[in-house]
Amino acid sequence: MTGVTDRTDTAPEPADLTDPRAAERSAVVDLAAIRHNVRTLRTRVAPAALMAVVKADAYGHGMLPVATAALEAGADWLGVAHVSEALVLRRAGLDAPLLAWLHTPATDFAAAVEAGIDLGVSGWELEPIAAAAAAAGRTARVHLKIDTGLGRNGCTAEEWPVLVRAALDHEAAGRLRLVGVFSHLAVADEPVRPETDAQVAAFRAAVAIAEDAGARLEARHLANSPAILTRPDTHFDLVRAGVSLYGLSPLAGISSAELGLTPAMTLRAAIANVKHVPAGQGVSYGLRYRTGTASALALVPVGYADGVPRIATDAPVLIDGQRHTVAGRIAMDQFVVDLVDPVPSDPAALLGADAVLFGDPATGAPAVEEWADAAQTINYEVVTRIGSRVPRVYRNDGAAR
Ligand SMILES: *Cc1c(COP(=O)(O)O)cnc(C)c1O
């Protein structure tokens, strides 16, 4: 297991479905799917290397188990937004190359340098990082970020030669190693748009300026998931895979299966109540839904406190092999499903049965994209916002078997 040490001492206790909390509600994460996606993406981008982006608790999937599985399957790097996230990975014993790119003046650069965390630098960070390295008698590892058009973080083209010069001066003095140059794309999920071409050209120009100034770069990186899947000319030395690592498609109208990816997360809960009701029964706050016929209502014990989007009325739910639809408003802790089309033969028998909100469509589960559409958002947001009250349950934890 490259890049993983002392895992048995540091891994969180995995929940399993016999744990009553996890039996009631869980986000089941299939680590075999994560490993499959890593292998698929690596093959696709070779000879470029793959960074597994595990920020935001691995988009809600659980940072340490996902990072471990990704490294087992051959991911070369880990990536996060914050140094605080990177430190959690290092403290868990993961020693793979690791980049953090979003900092403030309050960021603990000394701890990052001490822990061997590579740091993205857009400008102002260079001097405090060099100072932290000098104070510790260490060499910081830095990736300079050029803004090629996203207008978020990154150095402007105008300031770039000065930033490159300053970094190379610090490198000559032994305070840092200029490891990489990177940038982030704005519209790669819309392959017909022309701006990506301009961003690629601006990136090449920035890399050329750095190399002409004497930079010996190991990692030039630009591609996020949509660019990995649609733009081989963005792969360079390293790609940064986020949503695709989790088996989700970043491209509108193209499914996970069409991309050869397997969605890793299934969100399910045990049905908490089932009852027969007459036609015209109002359902949930506001009574925005009324049953059209005599039917049965199933109560699903997850709500917006668990990250289930409140506006996703009409989202699909799989119960006993049948797709049904959310009925009425989603509340803090629960929502209701009207068991019609078809009405089950014995609704009462469904008490305690699984209601599956989303998962891998290959298993019959609704796709997370159906929930994203119902909530007027994207698959990224739906999985990432699943809350801490929902236990994560890991399937196919290779290290444990
Ligand atoms: C989050 C992030 C990624 C991953 O993007 P996906 O579209 O999820 O693959 C890559 N690079 C940077 C800088 C990011 O912030």
Q: Which atom of ligand 1 is nearest to the CA of 380?
A: 8
Please check whether residue 226 is in contact with residue 250, taking contact to mean a CB–CB distance below 8 angstroms.
yes
Q: Return the number of other C-beta atoms located less than 10 Å from residue 34's C-beta.
A: 30
Angstrom distance (rounded) from CA 42 to CA 192: 25
Q: What is the mean pLDDT of residues 51-80?
A: 98
Q: Which helix (H) or strand (E) holds 87?
A: helix 83-91
Between 11 and 293, whose confidence is greater? 293
Residue minimizing CA distance to atom 12 of ligand 1: 184
Q: Render pLDDT for 88-139 as a digit per residue (tens, 0 to 9).
A: 999 999 999 999 999 999 999 999 999 999 999 999 999 999 999 999 999 9
Q: Render pLDDT for 283-309 as a digit per residue (tens, 0 to 9).
A: 999 999 999 999 999 999 999 999 999
Tokens describing residue 212: 């002409």
Of 38, 45, 53, the one to substitute when testing ligand 1's pocket (max ligand atoms within 8 A of C-beta) is: 53
pLDDT confidence of residue 6: 37
Ligand 1 geometric centre to CA of 241 (Å) = 6
> Which member of 55, 145, 246, 394 is catalytic?
55
| SS3 category, 109 | helix
Is 380 known to be catalytic? no
Is 289 known to be catalytic? no
Angstrom distance (rounded) from CA 250 to CA 252: 7
pLDDT confidence of residue 345: 86
| SS3 category, 221 | strand
Task: Say whether pLDDT at 81 is over 50.
Answer: yes
Alpha carbon distances (Å) from 154 to 101, 197, 208, 370: 10, 18, 17, 34
Tokens describing residue 66: 């996902």
Task: Say whether pLDDT at 387 is over 60.
Answer: yes
Q: Render pLDDT for 148-198 as a digit per residue (tens, 0 to 9).
A: 999 999 999 999 999 999 999 999 999 999 999 999 999 999 999 999 999
Q: At what angle do helices 160-172 and 126-136 cross, to 10 degrees?
A: 10
Task: Say whether pLDDT at 4 is over 70.
Answer: no
Q: Which helix (H) or strand (E) holds 64?
A: helix 63-72
pTM: 0.94
Angstrom distance (rounded) from CA 349 to CA 343: 13
Q: Return the number of other C-beta atoms located less than 10 Å from residue 13's C-beta.
A: 6
Backbone φ and ψ for 79, nearest 5 degrees, come out as -135, 140
